[in-house]
Structure 1
């Protein structure tokens, strides 16, 4: 892997895009991905010159004789970032999408919006013959599990195939064409944060961990939950290492539930990108090599263009124009009649206005949608 020959600006952009995918995927469970997804082009992906491909994030684009690779990408771009709970130790377990985020970059690539879709969002999942799935209306998280089923191989679910159905479902719900996507393992996130020396974040509410003890070890699992001392993240400015950042962003049994968890994910995105910029990693190629090498094969990227091309294209997005957005929602049914979540009219309105290119006026009219970081 040779990054030293890349311009400093492109090195930072490559790392920043990888970091964005990493943080966005921390909320749920371990992602198990054993291979990159060949040459499958996402539904509705923008046409590109040459054959589409999927390559590791550290794969440099050969030096061109003309404009830099990615210079022809002008937007709009939509990236789907997914966190998967696989629980491979459980026989017959199918992967579930526990964190689903969309990064939208409007035409001109001067601004970016990141928003989460609730894992329990009620959606129409289309038929998917590859998995013998007839389609239906259910929670968004199930699109990954239904799509991952490989006929004749009940104990060998395909995460890449599940992602394909999830991508189609998200595109159908939002009306946005998905150009590329990323999936990351827990291990990858932990490695990245530690390679960067941890991350600084303002914890906006007291969060008690369901999973970890103060020393970082896992709490003992008992029928109905866990037992033993709990790691607690008190309100205020905190410095988190890899396992702490991962643990903090996983918690949803807190005030605000899954919507608070989505907010915390987005706050971590901003915190890490600020760290990358503030530490001037673009001027430290050895640090960039260290961080990208630490990711190894834990990052899966699927798209019609190389990730380095997208990184170059996104180079014009200033850090202060990266806008995390929280979409409000509410439950459908209560108690035993609970069916899932739905976005409020304000939340649905943002997606409509985003698609029409009117996100900024809408956010000005609904300032509470902007996630404070």
Structure 2
């Protein structure tokens, strides 16, 4: 099994690929290969009429030049609810980004947050394992033994193992953990994002001016006017884009929300690459400034190395895949979701390295 190399950030899903395929490459190259080689300069007392001998060494390969495809990246949206001291983080958005061997193309698919899965035992905090919703794998792993504290990176570790077991993906090369605020700031730093809204979406969380709707007295939802997103091609600000992608109380429920989240990820990647970030140091630094100090990197390979490896990634060649599922009812009570045989079949094909052939046979899985 490949060792999981955790590149995690509480900034946003797209931050990983943006930094890797865009901003990071600028940092990788800014050292300046144009600087003269001091070894090639004549030393004191050398005859000025003689040319300097050529350097005996070749330029070092760019960091990350040895990284090869395919790559599997895990993208997680976390409900942290930081206002609640003992709240354990849940995984609300779960996406797998597979980058093909050419490192230029791939696909993105989502797993339902309420998917019924076997969560393995976890030695880090003594969790004994069990059959649970996938979203709860994060909270089960995040709880720090003997305290009411949460460790998001620890929660990611158990979640990634659970997803690896379920999908057959032999470990993830990198992972991203996101919160809504960081992704909103990233979107604004890029000047907004253009989305083709495919159905009417009414917000549960925001008013038309972007302020938060108030909780209904006694619970049971929110009150006040609602932001509404109508079908058509529209450019959204940060809060609008995240609000649109959060909504699941709409036609199609959580499966529609998953589709909108995949759409947003690809749209932000397209915007970042179209803005020329890899070649625009000033613009790249502005994005980094907007992200502030929320970027955390750990693992065997750093962001700069992945940046070079993914420099030619083409967002238009990222196929968005929707996996169909059904509700699981036990004694008349909803207990979660399960993928249909067609959805599970895609996972088997992806793990076997034949997703393109499977999608050719099941074209309805592709989000147009």
- The TM-score bracket by the shorter chain reads 0.7 to 0.9
Counterparts of 1:190-339 in structure 2, within 5 Å, are 190-222=184-216, 223-333=219-329, 336-339=332-335
TM-score, length of structure 2 as denominator length: 0.82
Q: What CA distance in whole angstroms lies between the structure 1 residues aligned with 2:158 and 2:167?
A: 14
Shift of 1:174: 1.0
1:160 aligns with 2:137: no
Which of 108, 131, 145 aligns to 1:114? It is 108
* 1:287-319 Cα deviation digits (max 9, x unpaired): 111012211233444543112211211223333
Q: Which moved more, 1:200-209 or 1:285-294?
A: 285-294
TM-score, length of structure 1 as denominator length: 0.81
Indicate the residue corresponding to 1:5 in structure 2.
none
Q: What CA distance in whole angstroms lies between the structure 2 residues aligned with 1:219 and 1:334?
A: 34
CA distance 1:240–1:260, change in 2 (3 Å): same
Q: What CA distance in whole angstroms lies between the structure 2 residues aligned with 1:262 and 1:300?
A: 26
Shift of 1:140: 0.4
Indicate the residue corresponding to 1:127 in structure 2.
121
* 1:26-54 Cα deviation digits (max 9, x unpaired): xxxxxxxxxxxxxxxxxxxxxxxxxxxxx
Q: Which moved more, 1:57-66 or 1:130-139?
A: 57-66
Shift of 1:207: 0.3
Indicate the residue corresponding to 2:351 in structure 1.
355
1:87 aligns with 2:81: yes
Contact persistence 1:206–1:233 (CA under 8 A): yes
Which of 331, 338, 344 aligns to 2:340? It is 344
Counting matched residue pairs gives 323
Indicate the residue corresponding to 1:141 in structure 2.
135
Shift of 1:58: 9.1
Which of 94, 103, 113 aligns to 2:97? It is 103
Shift of 1:167: 0.9
Shift of 1:196: 1.1
* 1:168-195 Cα deviation digits (max 9, x unpaired): 1111111112111111232211111111
Q: What CA distance in whole angstroms lies between the structure 2 residues aligned with 1:135 and 1:358?
A: 31
Contact persistence 1:131–1:149 (CA under 8 A): yes
Give secondary structure in 2 for the equivalent of 1:145: helix
Q: What CA distance in whole angstroms lies between the structure 2 residues aligned with 1:19 and 1:323?
A: 20
Contact persistence 2:70–2:102 (CA under 8 A): yes
Q: Which moved more, 1:90-99 or 1:211-220?
A: 90-99
Q: What CA distance in whole angstroms lies between the structure 1 residues aligned with 2:277 and 2:306?
A: 19
Indicate the residue corresponding to 1:13 in structure 2.
none
Contact persistence 1:79–1:181 (CA under 8 A): yes
Contact persistence 1:57–1:299 (CA under 8 A): no
CA distance 1:195–1:317, change in 2 (3 Å): closer
The RMSD of aligned alpha carbons is: 2.3
Q: What CA distance in whole angstroms lies between the structure 1 residues aligned with 2:364 and 2:106?
A: 18
Computing the radius of gyration from Cα coordinates, the structure with the larger value is: 2
